[in-house]
Amino acid sequence: MKPSLVRGSAFARRLLHAGMLRSASLLVPAEQRAEWFREWRGELWHVRHACTTAGKDSWRGEREVTAFCLGAFQDALCLRRAGRQPWAPFAAMDGTPRQCMLILSCALAASYAIALLLPGVRAERSLWPRKVNPNLVLIQQEGSSDNSRPTIAPGVFRSWEGRRQKYFDGFAFYRLDREAVSAETIAGRTAAKFEWGVARASSNLFTLLGLPVEFADPSAAPGGMTAVILSEKVWKRDFAADEHIAGVELRLGQRMVRIAGVAPDGSLSLPGRVDIWELVPDADAGSGAAGYLVAHLTAAGKAEMWTQCVHITANGPNDSEEDFLGVSLEEWKPPTMTVYLFSLMLALLALPAITSVSMGEYSVNPRRTTWPGRLYRWSFLSAKIALLLPVIYFISMDLAYGCTTFGRERAVYIQLVSTFGMCLFGLRWVLKDQRQRCPVCVCRVAHPAQVGQASRTFLDWNGTEMMCMGGHTLLHVPSLPTSWFGAQRWLYLDTSWSFLFAGSTRPIP
């Protein structure tokens, strides 16, 4: 290699090491930074001098220097943590089971509060108790690929409704028009004009859908006005979610109508962008442009529905045979709880692949600890899982349904994936946290110290040593499990060790 290249390479390595130290120094509190950097830079000079002298393997030496510089980050973090003064009540709780329970409870409260605030999640939860009647089908002309387009002529509705049917025992029809609507008597608002999608439906539509909507007799209302139902979207967008909307009168075309209520978004599961529903006599509904036909299946009809769709051949209004397609209104969408439980089951199956499910000596060393102590440990583990699982459920709901633009089908996949990921890594954390808690006081062990080097594993022990701040135990975790040291081990410290922990013992639960 050319001398210039060697010099350049050495310069680059020095620059890298100096950069590592400078980066680590940013973690150190400002008042200690200068001295800290001075000490590490001085030590680096000596380390480089010792590791990269002539005769030594250059590559190995550089690796040692880099490993030395990486340790600077741990030292900087240690100083940063020491410099931070935690709030006194929390400082006393550091590493205790109470701290863990408090954090998980706060996470649960926060995720639940967000779920309550997000409109998408609220809407999904409001739909929980409601199920679309599985006997309902939307009938379209055969060959129509888009079910949002109206294809049924009003004559078909009138013709079928008047005949005795084997497969259907009820029909409802609605058609969509764009109309100008003006609200003239809303308290505190000036007259406003809107362009809405008005659905004129046969009077039995809501009954057929199984919705408990009852209209007062229009003739009994003041001025014989027709009652209409607003969509939730319009109610929020154009009426600012006015709680006193019921009874407000609107001018719909040339007629006056009265608002009877609001239909929650997604509750009707019908195609078409409907802003307002107006129930009209069947004779009025079954006239005009093409619309949508909803039919209720008899037992015989249901037996013919093998899939979501069924082909229908029937006589049209002119007694000529026509082909139709019946599509079930029941959307295939598993309940959110089912998705959650399925993901949880998958995560439980995958868990042993990413972490050991063993609790170490927790279950095999009963003589070291008392019965109440063991009961406390296992209760704490159960409480952690019991708090974590609802946190994951609410966060997955927030992610899946928080953004309403995703669509419900995509939301199912988002919930599935996010629940799986959070359950997998959440349960891994629960087990890892439990393994690093002192079996005596159930507090987290601290001050991890790496002992030995990987290259010396076959000669000596290589791993991490941690200690219980209460002075009950030392924990040894092997970095590379060997036949003589395969799993972590607890070293129980008796009273003769207390001089090393003067005044710092924690009570045993």
Chain residues that interact with other proteins, rule: CB under 8 A: 39, 41-43, 45-47, 49-50, 67-68, 70-75, 78-79, 82, 446-447, 449-453, 456, 465-467, 469, 471, 474, 496-497, 499-504
* Both structure tokens of 454: 């990987």
Amino acid in position 55: G
**Cα–Cα distance between 81 and 75 in angstroms, integer?**
10
- Our measurement of the distance from residue 88's CA atom to the centroid of its chain's CA atoms, rounded to an integer in Å, reads 34
Q: Looking at beta carbons only, is 407 or 503 nearer to other proteins?
A: 503
Name which of 314, 326, 322, 324 is nearest 163 in CA terms. 314
Decide: helix, strand or coil at residue 45: helix
In angstroms, what is the minimal distance from the CB of 492 to other proteins? Answer: 14
C-alpha separations of 392 from 293, 348, 435 in Å? 42, 14, 22
**Cα–Cα distance between 130 and 134 in angstroms, integer?**
12
In angstroms, what is the minimal distance from the CB of 402 to other proteins? Answer: 40
In angstroms, what is the minimal distance from the CB of 128 to other proteins? Answer: 52
Q: Looking at beta carbons only, is 38 or 255 nearer to other proteins?
A: 38
Q: Looking at beta carbons only, is 162 or 507 nearer to other proteins?
A: 507
In angstroms, what is the minimal distance from the CB of 453 to other proteins? Answer: 6
Q: Looking at beta carbons only, is 336 or 436 nearer to other proteins?
A: 436
Q: Looking at beta carbons only, is 384 or 472 nearer to other proteins?
A: 472
In angstroms, what is the minimal distance from the CB of 460 to other proteins? Answer: 8
β 445-451/249-252 pair status: unpaired
Q: 476-499 in b/e burial notation, b at 16+ Cβ within 10 A? A: bbbbeeeeebeebbbebbeeeeee
Per the CB < 8 A criterion, the answer to whether 146 and 285 are in contact is no
Q: Looking at beta carbons only, is 403 or 474 nearer to other proteins?
A: 474
**Interior angle at CA 505, CA 503 and CA 509, nearest 5:** 150
Q: Looking at beta carbons only, is 73 or 406 nearer to other proteins?
A: 73
In angstroms, what is the minimal distance from the CB of 24 to other proteins? Answer: 10
**Cα–Cα distance between 34 and 164 in angstroms, integer?**
94
In angstroms, what is the minimal distance from the CB of 68 to other proteins? Answer: 5
Name which of 459, 469, 347 is nearest 396 in CA terms. 347
